[in-house]
């Protein structure tokens, strides 16, 4: 809802074990639009109280070979 309020729709990531989202584009995107997306993600994470977007070490270990 935080990203939608800023004019962007995101979808859950499904290719990883950690919680994630995907950003896709249908059509043409320019550097100005990408800057707006990055700002919207930053503001949304702050609004939601997310202090770090880094996955937990255990989640990283699950996807690393060896």
Task: Reply yes or no on whether the pLDDT at 62 is more than 80.
Answer: no
| pLDDT recorded at residue 64 | 55
| pLDDT recorded at residue 20 | 78
Report the alpha-carbon distance of residue 8 to residue 19 in Å, rounded.
18
| pLDDT recorded at residue 61 | 75
Residues 12, 21 contacting (CB under 8 angstroms): yes
Tens digit of pLDDT for each residue in 2-61? 999 999 988 877 777 777 787 777 788 899 999 999 999 999 999 999 999 888 787 777
State the alpha helices, DSSP H only, in 1-66: 2-5, 31-47, 57-63
């Amino acid at each position: 809802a935080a990203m939608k309020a800023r004019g962007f729709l995101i979808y859950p990531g499904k290719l990883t074990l950690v919680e994630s989202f995907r950003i896709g584009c249908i059509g043409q995107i320019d550097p100005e639009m990408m800057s707006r997306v990055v700002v919207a993600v930053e503001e949304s994470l702050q609004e939601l109280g997310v202090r770090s977007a880094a996955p937990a070490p255990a989640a990283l270990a699950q996807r690393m070979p060896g």
